[in-house]
Amino acid sequence: MVQFLFLHPPLLPILLAILSISVISLIDSILKSRSKASKYAQLALEKQNQRDQQLEANPLPKLTISTSLQEKILNSDVFTLLQMLQAHEVTSEDILITYLQRASTIGLDLNLLAETNFQEALAQAKECDRLRKEDPTRCQGVFF
């Protein structure tokens, strides 16, 4: 390659121009990607602020169950949770609040929570508990 450049000196400026254009193009793409990243970072920060305001305006209810029962809920599979519900050991609301507390503490610490629809989920859990009290036979199945 070096011999080729020495044999054809007019090619040297052309090669330098191509190299310069390549470097400028690379720098341009790096700057554009940084700009996109900063836009995404700004959007993420705005979303986190919205989430924090929503959580502050609608705090989670306090758990009224023991710490050991909370741990049992968190370590149980869906079938065990269903058995606990059927035995009236816990309510849907207890299960939900336990998971919400865990999600909010770990999720907030690690910035994993983007959307919080805790109040909607809580209303559904209360409705499930109400239906379970009225007619437990209607509340069959794992997904109930």
Task: Say whether pTM exceeds 0.75.
Answer: no
Asked if residues 125 and 93 have their Cβ atoms less than 8 Å apart, the reply is yes
CA–CA separation, 31 vs 37, rounded Å? 10
Asked if residues 91 and 61 have their Cβ atoms less than 8 Å apart, the reply is no
Name the amino acid, one letter, at 19. L
pLDDT tens digits for range 42-90: 888 888 888 888 888 888 888 889 999 999 999 999 889 989 998 999 9
118, two tokens: 């805790």
